[in-house]
Copies of this chain bind each other. A is one copy, B any other.
Amino acid sequence: MASQEWNYLELGNIRSTLIRQEDTILFQLIERAQFKRNLAIYQDDAEFLKGTGISGSYVRNLLQETENIHAKARRYTSPDEKPFTSRSQLPDPVLPPLVVPEEMKYLKSIDVNLNSKIYELYISTILPWVTKEGDDGQYGSSSVCDIQALQALSKRIHYGTFVAESKFRSQPEEYTKLIKAGDRQGIMDLLTNKEVEEKVIKRVQNKATAYGQEITDETSYPQGKPRGDQLLQVNPETMGKIYREIIIPLTKEVEVDYLLQRA
């Protein structure tokens, strides 16, 4: 998703991409939090789907239709974009492939995809944290927000492959030894940096605080007044939990899975 002259594996570039993605995730969750939980849209063959010809869940269907379009726009040829729909069910890109920079060779060749887990945790855990219980009938709007939130989460988590490749290059011998030994825990320990994790969590909490304040015509700075209902849901505590319990662990799982296949 960045320009072609960009070096994807330069640590400063990875960092600035991850920081941008935090904003996207926060923003998409704030958008989703306008609507209630609307559980029916996640249920297979829900009552409201009767007579529509849709089988499975409504969100799944809309997600696949969206991914069909994005696949044709070659979204899933980019190494940081993984589809939720099985690749075999998606159409081929209509556009000719982008030139893959040399440093992306490994990234392209290894297809780690944790989207089924991301989907599962989004519905079971993130949604109850960021939405109020109940049904407001806004099924279309909620689903469109869900799809954008899921795509943002997936992109952030799978950016772990870039992080892993970059870490590998900075310590090739250490990683190669662990990879050859199939030492999952050893790889996990080597790539874990608790201090950086805490900084990320603190930063997203600060973003949730800053974006969650009311901005008026009188001042350019936050005033300490929460802006509305959905911002009480997507608050610093929630954002911290989402990163600590879901995004960071899954990113590290992506990193380990990637490295084990890299050897």
Interface residues of A (CB under 8 A from B): 1-5, 16, 19-20, 23-24, 27, 30-31, 34-36, 48, 52-54, 62, 65-66, 69-70, 72-75, 94-96, 98-99, 136-141, 143-144, 148, 198-200, 202-203, 205-207, 209-211, 215-222, 227-228
Contact = CB atoms under 8 A, between A and B. Distances in A.
Contact of A220 (B52, B94, B209): B209
Total copies of the chain: 2
Contacts of A48: 95-96
A222 B207 CA distance: 10
Contacts of A94: 52-54
Contacts of A72: 65
A72 B20 CA distance: 32
Contacts of A4: 136-138
Contacts of A96: 48
Contact of A3 (B36, B54, B62, B75): B36
Nearest to A36: B3
Contacts of A209: 220
Nearest to A208: B220
Nearest to A30: B23
